[in-house]
Structure 1
Amino acid sequence: MSSVLITGASQGIGRAIAVELAHRGHRVIATARRPEVLADLPVAERLRLDVTDQDSVDRALEAAGEIDVLVSNAGATVRAPLETAPLAEVERLYQLNALGALRVAQGVLPAMRERRSGRLVFVSSIQGRLVLPIIGPYGASKWALEAMAETLAIETGHFGVKVSIVQPGAVATTGVTQARSFVPEDSPYAPLYRQLPTLRGEVITSEEVAAVVADTIEQPDPPLRVPAGAPAERALKARKEAPENEPFMPAAIDW
């Protein structure tokens, strides 16, 4: 079985991945900014790791020992139209969702390259391939993440490192309710904001995403991009079939 380090394992998808992989017999190193919240997870190690802090990443990777698989899951979202989205919030999302993922990947890659084996699994979103209004800052950070991941697949494949990008659609997690919102009631974009539940589409569970991640890790030759669940498959198929020269929305907007 593999030694798997998971970022952002305190709740939601990350926590479900930790449980799923532990149940399958893998050695799981669960990490979070507050490791005390990991106390009830059935994992081998629980470590503090803040993906936006280089010292934190270095200390966690040193404590973790040899890592066969990195599951890069830490992330956050906001709700704001791009016209008025606070740029500090957009920057925060890039630091966490994109650069944070790269920071940890940079930490594990030298040993993987030297061993000529390893897995990088990035938990992205269908919004790494299409966009939804009012969630644009999050989508932009996931597009950046997917560009980095695909580049890593090209650059490191020669050294035996396999890269996969798991793409869920809407997932029933607390991340949605905890998301910061910058859409006041008098915003001209408020009617669009109120349609978000419909625009996000059918919701799946964190456990369903976790099973896809675990299956991907256990595949001998996993694909680069892996839609997580039927709703994601449908949305990404529709995006692929739609014209590239005009905006695409997987659901109708009453606008």
Structure 2
Amino acid sequence: MKNLKQNVVWITGASSGIGKAMALEWACLGYKVVLSARRQELLEEIALEIRKSGGEALVIPVDILEEKSIEEAVQQLISTWGRLDIAVANAGFGVFGSMETLTAKDWSRQMQGNVTGLALTVKYALPHLKQTQGRIGLVGSVAAFIPNPHVGAYGASKAAVHSIGLTLQVELKGTGVSCTTIHPGFVVSEIARVDNEGLWHPNRPDPRPANLMWPTDKAAKVMVKAIMKRKRTYVFTAHGKVLLWMQRWFPSLVRTISSKGPKPE
């Protein structure tokens, strides 16, 4: 890719976890990085880290639940740096509860964040990505394909992300823009520490199996590589791939395993 120093990547949900790790990875590759999330103070810390390493970073706070916030973020990054080469729709969260207990408000918030917010991120980035024949990265989850007791709303939202990715891969044919939908297995994140109202609980235990958890820096490297190679769909972590294989060939076994798993508080 020519003149790499001029290439710009925009990452939503960049204040922690996978988003932060991807931002640092792209900065190492020489990209200008636009950092977006709600927690501006954390974004500023990441931007400072990037600048100290000789990179360039721009902080633009975004609330993916607000369309105007997304639209204005794209306007600001284009006004500042004049182009966009990669947009990664990474921002998202989990809403917890059984199908019997989830409210309409719970469902609405989950879909507004993980589906509508993601789709609008792509919508406002696309005109500029078409000018650079750029790349889109959608962050889904292995949960899109397997039973998700007590996190069914989250799994449904990630299934929608997978569908959006498939649709974009058709709609973007001939434009030069690629769409990579990435479905991670267990990766270290704060998702279990955020409640259904969006409040963070730093001491809340994470029910996911610690022995299967990938570190964020390792996850970021494979995700960035998949987007750079313009892969269409990419599933990673060994256990994620195994679960998908089992769901295809032994669905009853996966249901049994899922029913015995830990429940989020």
Query: Same fold, TM exceeding 0.5?
Result: yes
Aligned counterpart in structure 2 of residue 55 of structure 1, from 62, 68, 71: 68
SS at match of 2:259: coil
**For this pair of structures, how many residues does the alignment match?**
237
1:151 matches 2:167? yes
Counterpart residue number, 2:112? 95
TM-score by length of 2: 0.81
Does the 8 A contact of 2:115 with 2:157 survive in 1? yes
- Whether 1:237 and 2:249 are equivalent positions in the alignment is no
Higher strand share: 1
Residues 131-210 of structure 1: pairs in structure 2 closer than 5 A:
131-180=147-196, 197=208, 202-210=212-220
CA distance 1:91–1:24, shift in 2 (3 Å)? same
Q: 1:105 to 1:239 in 2, by over 3 A?
A: same
For 1:19-58, list aligned pairs within 5 A: 19-41=24-46, 42=50, 43-58=56-71
Q: CA distance change for structure 1 residues 254 and 71 in 2, over 3 Å: closer, same or farther?
A: closer
After superposing the two structures, state which structure 1 stretch, 28-37 or 200-209, moved more: 200-209
Matches within 5 A, 1:67-78: 67-78=84-95
Query: What is the TM-score with the length of structure 1 in the denominator?
Result: 0.84
After TM superposition, the runs of 4+ consecutive aligned structure 1 residues lying more than 6 A away are none
Match of 1:218 among 219, 228, 250: 228
| Whole-angstrom CA distance in 2 between matches of 1:252 and 1:116 | 43
Q: 1:46 is aligned with what amino acid?
A: V
Q: Residue 238 of structure 1 aligns to which amino acid in structure 2?
A: M
Q: Which amino acid aligns with 1:74?
A: A
Identity value in percent: 27
Q: Which residue of 2 aligns with 1:189?
A: none
Q: 2:101 aligns with which of 56, 80, 84?
A: 84
CA distance in 1, matches of 2:26, 2:172: 24
Q: CA deviation at 1:117?
A: 0.9
Query: Mean alpha-carbon deviation: is it higher for 140-149 or for 94-103?
Result: 140-149
| C-alpha distance in 2 between matches for 1:19 and 1:179 | 27
Q: Which residue is 1:227 aligned to?
A: 235
**2:200 aligned residue:** none
1:172 positional shift: 1.8
Structure 2: unaligned runs, 5 residues or longer? 51-55, 198-204
Superposition deviation, residue 217 in structure 1: 2.6
